C-alpha cells in the first residue's frame, strides 16, 4: 500500500521547482525594472550633454 498520495508526489516533484522559478522571476523583474530606469536616465543625460 502506498503511504504518500500521488498528488503529494507530483507537488513535491514539480511544485518546488515551480515556486523557485516564480520567486526568481519576481526578483529579477524588479532588478530589470531598475536597470531599465537607469538606462533611460543615462540616455537622457547623454542627450543633454550633446
Per-residue pLDDT tens for 1-50?
A: 456 677 677 667 778 777 778 778 888 998 999 999 999 999 999 999 87
**C-alpha span between 2 and 30 (Å, rounded):** 43
| Residue 11 grid coordinates | 507537488
Cα three-residue angle 18-20-25, rounded to 5 degrees:
95
Concatenated DSSP letters for 23-35? Answer: HHHHHHHHHHHHH
pTM for this entry: 0.54
| Residue 24 grid coordinates | 526568481
Amino acid at each position: 500500500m502506498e503511504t504518500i498520495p500521488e498528488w503529494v508526489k507530483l507537488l513535491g516533484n514539480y511544485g518546488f521547482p515551480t515556486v523557485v522559478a516564480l520567486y526568481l522571476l519576481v526578483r529579477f523583474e524588479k532588478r530589470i525594472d531598475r536597470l531599465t530606469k537607469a538606462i533611460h536616465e543615462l540616455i537622457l543625460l547623454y542627450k543633454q550633454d550633446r
